[in-house]
Structure 1
């Protein structure tokens, strides 16, 4: 015969289980607005039934309920997809912001833009060709030339400052990745210790997942979680974090309770100025000292690296795809060198007021770049040294030829400067600006498209992992009713025991 008190034990289990469910529901409600919190679900399971003999056979009688565990409502596949899309969105968003800054830097079209200064320079030569004997026209030309040179200098300096800013951003992101790796390592240790003790550290797991989500904005992240075979009687997991290219199998950042670091050794660009690289630090078991393979268009770190380039100028093998600002500087360097080369060539073949062969108009430094282009100081000191004619300085033929460079290469016999692959200087520069506009449009379109995908994946994850107050309020009522019913069982059993103890066996 079953013990009379077995019902009390059943009711006790029911009360404890429903109380745990109520506490968990309250925890969900309290953290409804907590960043990174995952809704927790109580896993209620029937306890092992007991077997009692009855009329020549055994009966299996239930013994109640127990809390098997408190689990997080989490989907590994959805997490992976969210982080993947988040990484791509971060790349395109960073690229869009950086290219918008480049557009603002160039300030096209505007009255104070480079193209406007270049047009004024050619127009000044045209005006001088009409009136070579006018000192005012010569002064205006020198002023326009000085403005053009200053604009070259300013743009080059702005590109340099932007590269420095991106380099600082790269260094900060390397530090952020290293700090995140250390924090994940510490959480792994705490979580594993709790799992070994039989605990269920859901809130610590939420903190770890939040760190991985934040890390996915900087680099592509892949999480691999597996069962620790060392522990046979309980579930203890091994948590690994890989970053960068999925095809590089050894790109491991956190190996359970061991964190590896990134280094930022300084490399020297073509001009001798330092930029930070992204390499695995000493101590990495597979790739120590190797450049981190970041994948294809993934994360803010890669976006900044591809905009910045390996050096202030293009390094061997680099182009616009992997050194955007360095390539942009090269375009301005080519333009400055081409203008100086062609103007100097025509000017040196002309005649000044004294009847002498003209000097170079721009200082012929080797090489001429956007950063160093400047006007021959002799011409600034004596504007009459500007050569304007081919037979006499007054015929204005040389000035007219130089002015015609704005629209083509007729004055050069149809042969353009080596670095200028366009119909004119204006076309070369216009093509560069149009190319920038296309790049901005692509980045904007991709960033907007990725934002939609990230929002979709976020909503999908929230539908599973987020806290719904309506659902939790329903659970409160459900668990409270169950708790009340379990308490009623205790009251009923108390009445039964009172009857047995106090009412049976009394003689009257």
Structure 2
């Protein structure tokens, strides 16, 4: 009778464990499409055997049935690490490609090529003006096409700036996401530890969630992680602790007061008192796969965005004003897709505006012999040496060496200064001096008018008794973009928009059309007077500069695209290999389901037979 009840126990264990196996298989099938789910495999094992006797040969024993020895939760740690490192590198190049593609899209303006067309129309207007500067229709056409060209230029530059700010917003959101994922992993660590502390159950779903969080985290930067015997995973992010057994070390955001650009740093290792911040990313290091410095979308976006919105000046000059070398360019602004594109584009617009303005309103300055000459080589102004504010400079003077003064009694410094070439400058229909420049800075006029005075403060006059005036050129103020010839800092001269015939086109005698001016303007378009960057010093024209700028972007974009395609393929291949280990196979699980159902049915019939046998035995003993 005892053996009969023991057989009933064996049947019940089989029934119970097959039911659990069916539940596990059903869970796998239910999560076939669930991201991050790892298949669970049931392993059966025998229960303990009980011996009837201690015979030396063939001891009699009986078993207590079966049990589930383990539910295998299989992951390949090497494939996981390979997948996450590949994910980080793929995200870096994919993000870099997106930035290059967006910039190219803005320059081509959604393939409509409005800017390129505006550039060609501007050239055609000058071509017509150059052949007949006195034609009022040609004059107005130059002004209208210049207005359209500047409008398109501003639109492109504004679009690039907007995208730069958009990248900044994405960086901020991704920093928040990294902190969120770190906190999530930290919380899962302790949930897993609580469940697994008794050594009975494995927190499989929680481990799946934690592994998925690590997968997501790897796309934002280089990560290193390890699990201790208690099931706690500690993570390092960009060579700095992100979380451990004790706490999460969140990233903080430094916001630039001028640009509002955000840069992540580690507050726990920064000296907040002195402002010495421990930045998360070292953007000065060489980007190299061998050194693992090309990982993570945040770093790629920080590089693409840069740390400022540059002008043409920043393309060839360092922050201290020194001339930028090719090496400094490649290590600095050349690394940033947005900064480089903004600076190169502004350089094109700046050069075009200043060369055109300098032809309409030509300047002169002190030559090596200390004299200012006009364009024809005639003496325009004399200078002498004088001490101004403790510095020896040259100041304007008459032919007898008597210094000139302004209305405030100050000598007029000529060293490094420019003055309107009043003898040869072309005139508009109104004949006024200074003539109208085409592109006008929003923050200042082109010239400051000065009436020459002698030491006694009396106005100096010419032979006809007219006061002699000069026009001193107002240099660009690098601290005020409205006083620079930048894309955003200029507008078309409003006076010319009202009266187009005041565009300079006559010679200084106001009798002859200045055909030389037309020829010079045409030559400005065909003269190779520009460099693309300190790295690319091949001389080029306006149009060639723009073409090279677009080609440079396309080349960089192709490099990033090729790397992205290669790494995406590697990532997919690695993930496929991971899925072979952790993925759920519908066919395999359905096969297991049938197997466990048959086992369950067999155990059920076995129990029925044993129950009937016991019932028969009990009834026969009455």
| TM-score bracket relative to the smaller structure | 0.7 to 0.9
* 1:276 equivalenced with 2:253 (yes/no): no
Alignment CA distance shift 1:65-1:417 (3 Å)? closer
After TM superposition, list the pairs within 5 Å mapping 1:414-493 onto structure 2: 421-491=538-608, 493=610
> How far off is 1:202 after superposition?
0.8
2:223 aligned residue: 221
* 1:18 equivalenced with 2:14 (yes/no): no
1:11-31 CA distances to partner (integer Å, 9 max, x unpaired)?
Answer: 333333222211111111222
SS of the aligned residue for 1:264 comes to: strand
1:121 aligned residue: 122
Alignment CA distance shift 1:415-1:442 (3 Å)? closer
> How far off is 1:377 after superposition?
4.4
Contact 1:129 1:388 in 2 (8 A): no
Alignment CA distance shift 1:62-1:332 (3 Å)? same
Determine the C-alpha separation between the residues in 1 that align with 2:304 and 2:144. Answer: 34
Determine the C-alpha separation between the residues in 2 that align with 1:289 and 1:216. Answer: 24
1:128-168 CA distances to partner (integer Å, 9 max, x unpaired)?
Answer: 12212211111111112222222222222111111111111
After TM superposition, list the pairs within 5 Å mapping 1:160-179 onto structure 2: 160-179=161-180
Determine the C-alpha separation between the residues in 2 that align with 1:176 and 1:417. Answer: 38
2:397 aligned residue: none
In the superposition, the TM-score normalised over structure 2's length comes to: 0.70
Alignment CA distance shift 1:111-1:422 (3 Å)? farther
* 1:407 equivalenced with 2:407 (yes/no): no
Contact 2:133 2:513 in 1 (8 A): yes
1:231 aligned residue: none
SS of the aligned residue for 2:490 comes to: coil
Number of matched residues? 483
Moved more, 301-310 or 319-328: 319-328
Contact 1:107 1:113 in 2 (8 A): yes
Determine the C-alpha separation between the residues in 1 that align with 2:576 and 2:554. Answer: 33
Alignment CA distance shift 1:417-1:362 (3 Å)? farther
Determine the C-alpha separation between the residues in 2 that align with 1:431 and 1:218. Answer: 33
> How far off is 1:222 after superposition?
3.4
1:435-493 CA distances to partner (integer Å, 9 max, x unpaired)?
Answer: 11122223333333333222222222222222222111111121223233334544555
Contact 2:44 2:70 in 1 (8 A): yes
2:185 aligned residue: 184
Moved more, 441-450 or 378-387: 378-387
1:292 aligned residue: 280
After TM superposition, list the pairs within 5 Å mapping 1:220-369 onto structure 2: 220-228=222-230, 237-244=231-238, 248=239, 251-256=240-245, 258-268=247-257, 272-282=258-268, 289-293=277-281, 296-313=293-310, 319-320=332-333, 322-349=335-362, 350-353=425-428, 354=431, 358=435, 360-363=437-440, 364=446, 365-366=476-477, 367-369=484-486
2:44 aligned residue: 44
> How far off is 1:431 after superposition?
0.5
1:266-295 CA distances to partner (integer Å, 9 max, x unpaired)?
Answer: 124xxx22211111234899xx94211386
Alignment CA distance shift 1:183-1:123 (3 Å)? same
Determine the C-alpha separation between the residues in 2 that align with 1:417 and 1:191. Answer: 58
Q: Which protein has the bigger strand share?
A: 2
Determine the C-alpha separation between the residues in 2 that align with 1:62 and 1:112. Answer: 83
Determine the C-alpha separation between the residues in 2 that align with 1:175 and 1:55. Answer: 70
Alignment CA distance shift 1:212-1:418 (3 Å)? closer
Determine the C-alpha separation between the residues in 2 that align with 1:174 and 1:111. Answer: 36
Q: 1:205 aligns with which of 191, 197, 207?
A: 207
Contact 2:532 2:548 in 1 (8 A): no
Moved more, 68-77 or 315-324: 315-324
1:98 aligned residue: 99
Alignment CA distance shift 1:94-1:79 (3 Å)? same
Bigger Cα Rg: 2
Contact 1:341 1:417 in 2 (8 A): no
> How far off is 1:355 after superposition?
9.2
SS of the aligned residue for 1:224 comes to: strand
> What RMSD over aligned residues (CA atoms) do the two structures have, in Å?
3.3
> How far off is 1:126 after superposition?
2.2
After TM superposition, list the pairs within 5 Å mapping 1:14-163 onto structure 2: 14-56=14-56, 58=59, 62-107=63-108, 113-163=114-164
Runs of 5+ in structure 2 lacking a partner?
283-291, 320-327, 363-424, 441-445, 447-475, 478-483
Contact 2:100 2:337 in 1 (8 A): no
Determine the C-alpha separation between the residues in 1 that align with 2:224 and 2:61. Answer: 48
SS of the aligned residue for 2:224 comes to: strand
Q: Which protein has the bigger helix share?
A: 1
2:289 aligned residue: none
Alignment CA distance shift 1:390-1:401 (3 Å)? farther
> How far off is 1:307 after superposition?
1.7
SS of the aligned residue for 2:279 comes to: coil
SS of the aligned residue for 2:489 comes to: coil
Determine the C-alpha separation between the residues in 1 that align with 2:575 and 2:335. Answer: 31
Alignment CA distance shift 1:110-1:13 (3 Å)? closer
